[in-house]
Amino acid sequence: MHNRRAERRSRSRFPVRGVPSVHPAPGPPSTRRGNLPGSPRHLLGRRAQPKECPIRPVLPHAARAAARRIAPPALAASLACAAALAVTGERADGRVALGVQDDELSSGTMDEIPKRLDLLEQSRARVTRVDALWRNIAPTRPRNPADPDDPAYRWERLDAVLRGLALRDITTIITTYTAPAWATNSPDAVRGEVNPIAPRARDFAAFMAALAARYSGRHRDEDGRRLPQVRHLELWNEPNLQAFLAPQVLNGKRFALTRYLQMIRLAYPRIKQVHPDSIVLVGVGGPRSSTSDRGTGSREWMNRILASGVDFDGYSQHYYPAKGPTVRTRAFPAWHTIGQAIEALDRYPKHRGKPYYVTEAGYTTLPTPRRTVLFTEAEQAQYLRQILRNRVVRSDRVPVVMWFNLQDQQEWPGGLLRSDGSARPSWSVFRGLAARNDRMPRPPARRVKVSANQLLVNQRVSQAAVLRANAVEKALDELDGRDIRPGGLRAETFDSSVSITGDDSASATRPLRRSIRVSRPAGKAAKAGSRSAVELSDRQVRINQRVSAAAVRRANALAARIERGLTGADIADGTISADRLAGGLQVTGRGTPTSQPPEPPPSAPSPTGGGGTVKLSAEQLLTNQRIAQAAVLRTNRLLRVIEIGLTSEHFRPGSLGAGDLAP
């Protein structure tokens, strides 16, 4: 899109009226003006649709690196062989993940973030795209720009957004653009939120290293809390357009293209060094058909990047065609010619089989100075359905289609919601499609045989996760005053039925060191070194994976139970003795006991599946392993909380009453 973000700060703020109705409110009439001059209509040679081609690895070394980092010693040997295999194959369900971007998450006040995240969750999208505005994150030059903990960085907004998305189980693509003035050769400040002046490549690479390290899944913030992992990192936004990377032409040469290639060459290895599991997306082409001093055509931009030999893991392009998805056209980019992009990737052995991401797409329904083509609201909803029926879009080469935008803004009226928060017809269509196309697929994997030893190790880790979750749940259900750390309760934790005097400034520091018994996994161990290959039915694969996933969900539910705060209903009545009060406090009176309803226990779905036989893939093996390990790690953290002892920080203020105190 042509600079739809450039004047976001100056646009009016649009209220969101809660949850939009599934039945759209009537909006202003929208008259289609047809295909007017200025739309992308560059005529290209007609090409046949591409044939299905074999898929090669997107990240051939990612599985090996992940196995080395996360696998405990007992699992390293069993994962090494399977994880090292190349991945190839096809996506069986023919579904592409359908996401939506909310541009408001990168602007506005911090107080608006929870509301916007809730609205995004209501769309049922399981994948979204978030702008990381470099200029706002690093307003002054960091002393060590590759260090995410450098005091010059301002990560607060991005941290809050990504944490909120992780809690809602929404996969994120981060796109980074708009350079701070200090990172360019033009020190004059640029008005507006977007600074299109091209940055120095080395400064961009250093910032991307800091961003990748911060969201690698291993970094902690200033308070010691682990930050979420974001694998998909997109380098810049529409760098083939003057509005986002300038100048496009300098001294008769295509300066923006040359600078962008430098940025990729320096940033890619820096990212991989600190975040080997990352998927680095390049191109990010704006929807331009022709080349001029104001921009480079999308086809030429892509071909020049591919021919340059730069490293990347996926190519991304934006789609705002002047015609519907089923209309035959020679324009590029357009849905009818999307197969030509796949062909272009496969012409280069280095990039053959790599995925093609559509990280922005949409149809505008109101006039805008930025676009001369508009469609009716009914057409917008119809075209959304048609996009996901496209044969190439449904192939395993297109992992995601990202709709832009969630809600209309002044510069870009292509939202699922109108500016006043009411729903367009496309809102209900999107919600239905997103619920069925809700996961960004992993790189397709070649089928491999698994030894009995490997299978047994995976199964025992899953069993261990379930048993640990059982131990945590049992401990929480049987809490009494002995589980509270001596001196751990402050006055604020008790309700009005308890009269307490004294100063509770002295907090508990003496842990309980309680031991919780965890059962050992049942079953006989396989013979050491067994290499007999086994094949599993798809039902067995699903059951194994769902057992691990259920353990993760149970661990999350138990953690949420503690994070929300325990109450008096979680503690056996009459078991809190005086030594559990913080130093300086004394109970002077007890009134009528109060009670609160206990938290509902977490539940896990029962596994289902078919009966056909399958050979487990390297990627599936690693996925199952990581799910089970995540459950073990999370439940271990919960066990440590209970073993060390509860304090006031684990109870809701005012939740303990007279009935909880010992006589």
Residues 436 and 425: beta-carbon distance below 8 Å: no
- Domains of the chain: residue spans and CATH: 43-436 (3.20.20.80), 452-521+535-660 (no CATH)
Is-cis flag, bond preceding 247, omega within 30? Answer: yes
What's the pLDDT at 608? 41
What's the pLDDT at 112? 95
In whole angstroms, what is the distance from residue 631 CA to residue 10 CA? 46
What's the pLDDT at 442? 56
Structural tokens at position 199 = 């940055």
Residues 283 and 245: beta-carbon distance below 8 Å: no
In whole angstroms, what is the distance from residue 430 CA to residue 98 CA? 8
What's the pLDDT at 39? 33
In whole angstroms, what is the distance from residue 204 CA to residue 236 CA? 10
What's the pLDDT at 60? 35
Between the alpha carbon of residue 210 and those of residues 69, 143, 184, 205, 607, the distances in Å are 20, 12, 18, 9, 41
- Write down the residue that tokens 């040469």 correspond to: 253
What's the pLDDT at 620? 62
How do strand 400-404 and strand 533-534 relate by DSSP bridges?
unpaired
What's the pLDDT at 323? 94
Q: Is 303 exposed, middle or buried (0-12, 13-18, 19+ CB in 10 A)?
A: middle
Model's pTM, two decimal places? Answer: 0.60
**Strand locations in 209-320, DSSP E?**
232-235, 279-285, 314-319
Taking 50 as the pLDDT cut, the residues of the chain under it are: 2, 6-92, 443-446, 525-531, 598-599, 601-613
